[in-house]
């Protein structure tokens, strides 16, 4: 073990860089001072209480939740269709289609945001609203959804569907009774991941949000006021907790899906 001390130190420093800044969030969120600075002045929950009574924040939160929920449902539904198509025997343009669908994963978000803004305002001449944010979020979530669901669908024995049809079921019956239950953990996992991506997104929402800001956009707005910083810390604490919780739940369902299909685990998020 001794000879690996260099690698160990590297791992510790690496993790510290990753998580130390985030650990500062709860530290100052519960600090009884309006200024973000050491030394700490004492324990307080007043910032959380203030969050509780800020109406604009509640509106932003509700907006974000609505957008994230609808986005997760849309992206996952489309992801199921794409992943199912991926299991079909080769059809013309299959590789190309699946490749292009995954492209938003590597495009800079700001490029997508500007392009969508132009389409919405100049080409379609629509007003910005929650729906424009949902459409954009769906676009960036679909690659994640497909990546997760592809795994679930590719793991299935291609004979399952034929076996169900052989036993008298229609194609839809075979999908509903056999395929769907087997990929359900993947679907839950996809819903949660898309929900988090939408909830966390700032760049796209900043460009495409209408009169009602989403949570990250609202937080960005707050940063202009120095005395609002502890509020952001408190809010950040809550968001980080929720995100980690959702990620753990998503991973739990993904692993359960792998176990259920009786397969060896390869990859995943956690």
* Residues near another protein, by CB under 8 A: 157, 159-160, 162-170, 177-178, 181-182, 260-262
Closer by beta carbon to another protein, 60 or else 182: 182
Cα angle value 35/41/42 (rounded, 5°):
125
| Smallest gap from residue 76 Cβ to another protein (A) | 20
User: Nearest to residue 215, comparing CAs of 17, 37, 31, 59?
Assistant: 59
Closer by beta carbon to another protein, 67 or else 152: 152
200 burial level (CB within 10 Å; 0-12, 13-18, 19+):
middle
| Smallest gap from residue 183 Cβ to another protein (A) | 10
| Smallest gap from residue 252 Cβ to another protein (A) | 17
Residue 261 and residue 183: Cα distance in Å, rounded? 9
Closer by beta carbon to another protein, 84 or else 121: 84
| Smallest gap from residue 138 Cβ to another protein (A) | 29
Closer by beta carbon to another protein, 186 or else 216: 186
3-state secondary structure of 43: strand
Residue 63 and residue 33: Cα distance in Å, rounded? 30
């Amino acid at each position: 073990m001794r000879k690996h001390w260099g690698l160990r130190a590297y791992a510790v420093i690496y993790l510290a860089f990753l998580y130390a800044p985030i650990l500062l969030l709860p530290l100052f969120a519960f600090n009884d001072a309006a200024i973000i600075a050491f030394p700490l002045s004492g324990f307080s929950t007043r910032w959380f209480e203030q969050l509780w009574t800020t109406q604009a924040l509640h509106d932003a939160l509700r907006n974000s939740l609505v957008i994230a929920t609808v986005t997760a449902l849309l992206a996952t539904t489309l992801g199921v269709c794409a992943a199912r198509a991926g299991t079909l025997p080769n059809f013309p343009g299959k590789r190309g289609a699946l490749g292009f669908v995954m492209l938003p994963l590597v495009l800079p978000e700001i490029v997508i945001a500007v392009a969508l803004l132009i389409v919405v305002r100049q080409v379609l001449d629509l007003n910005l609203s929650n729906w424009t944010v949902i459409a954009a979020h769906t676009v960036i979530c679909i690659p994640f959804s497909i990546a997760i669901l592809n795994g679930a669908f590719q793991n299935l024995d291609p004979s399952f569907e034929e076996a169900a049809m052989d036993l008298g079921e229609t194609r839809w019956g075979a999908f509903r009774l056999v395929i769907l239950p087997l990929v359900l953990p993947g679907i839950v996992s996809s819903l949660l991941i898309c929900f988090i991506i939408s909830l966390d997104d700032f760049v796209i929402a900043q460009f495409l949000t209408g009169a009602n800001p989403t949570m990250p956009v609202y937080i960005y707005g707050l940063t202009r006021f120095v005395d609002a910083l502890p509020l952001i810390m408190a809010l950040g604490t809550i968001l980080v907790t929720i995100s980690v919780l959702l990620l753990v739940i998503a991973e739990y369902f993904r692993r359960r899906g792998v176990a259920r299909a009786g397969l060896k685990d390869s990859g995943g998020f956690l």
